[in-house]
Amino acid sequence: MNNEYILAIETSCDETAAAIIKDGKVIVANIVASQIESHKRFGGVVPEVASRHHVEQITLVIEEALQTAQLAPKELSAVAVTEGPGLVGALLIGINAAKAFAFAHQLPLIGVHHIAGHIYANALVQPMVFPLLALVVSGGHTELVLMRNAGSFEVIGETRDDAAGEAYDKVARVLHLPYPGGPHIDRLAHEATEAVDFPRVWLEEDSYDFSFSGLKSAVINYQHNLQQKGESIDASAVAKGFQDSVVEVLTAKTLRAAREYQVKQVIAAGGVSANKGLRASLTHTFKNEGIPFYVPPLHLCTDNAAMIGAAASEMFKARQFGALNMNGNPGMAL
């Protein structure tokens, strides 16, 4: 049987990425053109700037992926692209490139959900075993997703306000740290010797939902109070206090859900799963619980196209193809 090679494209936010994935699990090429430097001076992603960068980079990253893989378009099995959610202008650049490529080379087109991609990043590291629980934590998402089978996604909990990564980035701004703030807070938290005591937001006892905006406000109020008293802020103690609160709530809810649904595997996904504190806490907790826990290596946690190719492989097997009139779907449901 011929090998399956999927060309995957991701442009939902601020990375222009193309990858080639063999048989759903082997990364043959993984090219990421980051725009972080351009967005840094604005303190966040500016949609128009993102679209412009995607236009400039998209053909280059696709060509580089094909060159790295030493493959001709006719050797590909399909073209996959992030269909949503994300910034609509950014999504459309990837989708139009994918449609043009698929049409020109007569290849099937596959529209992938960005979060399915983050979850399937794990399939590039080890086989996924079901039922599986995924904690998806990124700049735009905080969700607990139950997968009873391959390709099936049930959102059992989600944030009611800010995403975890969004809270990290907003707190980082208060501490005058560069964008994206997550890695800086993570580093400061590790250097800290003390932690400011911030609240844990649990919501209703049986809820798997999350809320981070109150915690963010607590940090802002703490900083204002000190400022008014003319006292300086210990940024590392604030970073540690904030991170301890986020990590404790994420870990506890993930553990409770893993027990309730008796899952065989727990995985973490999304940009915030790069967080050292969160990785350590989940690793320790599930080791004690006796449930295998995995998190992909750092470069597969943040946005990339390899994960989109891995998710697309499952859809390719199920012949879930998209049409050439595919549109960007910023609010796409999982």
**Binders of Zn ion in range 170-209 (CB under 5 A):** none
Of 269-277, 285-293, 312-320, 321-329, the window that binds ligand KG4 (rule: CB under 6 A) is 269-277
Which residue in the set 275, 281, 313, 329 belongs to the binding site for ligand KG4 (CB under 6 A)? 275
Of 27-35, 75-83, 252-260, 297-305, the window that binds Zn ion (rule: CB under 5 A) is 297-305
186 sits near ligand KG4 (criterion: CB under 6 A): yes
Of 51-59, 64-72, 174-182, 201-209, the window that binds ligand KG4 (rule: CB under 6 A) is 174-182
Q: Which is nearer to Zn ion, 94 or 108 (CB)?
A: 94
Which residue in the set 16, 122, 138, 313 belongs to the binding site for ligand KG4 (CB under 6 A)? 138
- Smallest gap from Cβ 11 to ligand KG4, in A, equals 12
Please, is 34 exposed, middle or buried when counting C-beta atoms within 10 Å of its C-beta (0-12, 13-18, 19+)? middle
Which residue in the set 270, 309, 322, 328 belongs to the binding site for ligand KG4 (CB under 6 A)? 270
Is there a contact between 308 and 8 (Cβ–Cβ < 8 Å)?
yes
Give the number of other CB atoms < 10 A from CB of residue 173.
15
Of 29-37, 132-140, 226-234, 260-268, the window that binds ligand KG4 (rule: CB under 6 A) is 132-140
Of 23-31, 248-256, 257-265, 270-278, the window that binds ligand KG4 (rule: CB under 6 A) is 270-278
Structure token pair of residue 179? 């964008």
180 binds, among Zn ion, ligand KG4, none (CB under 5 to 8 A by kind): ligand KG4
Q: Which is nearer to Zn ion, 138 or 273 (CB)?
A: 138
- Smallest gap from Cβ 73 to ligand KG4, in A, equals 28
Say how far apart CA 147 and CA 26 lie, in whole Å. 22
Is there a contact between 211 and 161 (Cβ–Cβ < 8 Å)?
yes
> Is 138 within any annotated ligand binding site?
yes
Say how far apart CA 53 and CA 14 lie, in whole Å. 8
Q: Which is nearer to Zn ion, 138 or 281 (CB)?
A: 138
> Is 53 within any annotated ligand binding site?
no
> Is 275 within any annotated ligand binding site?
yes
Say how far apart CA 322 and CA 299 lie, in whole Å. 28
Which residue in the set 24, 94, 182, 322 belongs to the binding site for ligand KG4 (CB under 6 A)? 182
Please, is 105 exposed, middle or buried when counting C-beta atoms within 10 Å of its C-beta (0-12, 13-18, 19+)? middle
171 sits near ligand KG4 (criterion: CB under 6 A): no
Which residue in the set 271, 296, 322, 328 belongs to the binding site for ligand KG4 (CB under 6 A)? 271
Contacting positions for Zn ion (CB under 5 A): 138, 303
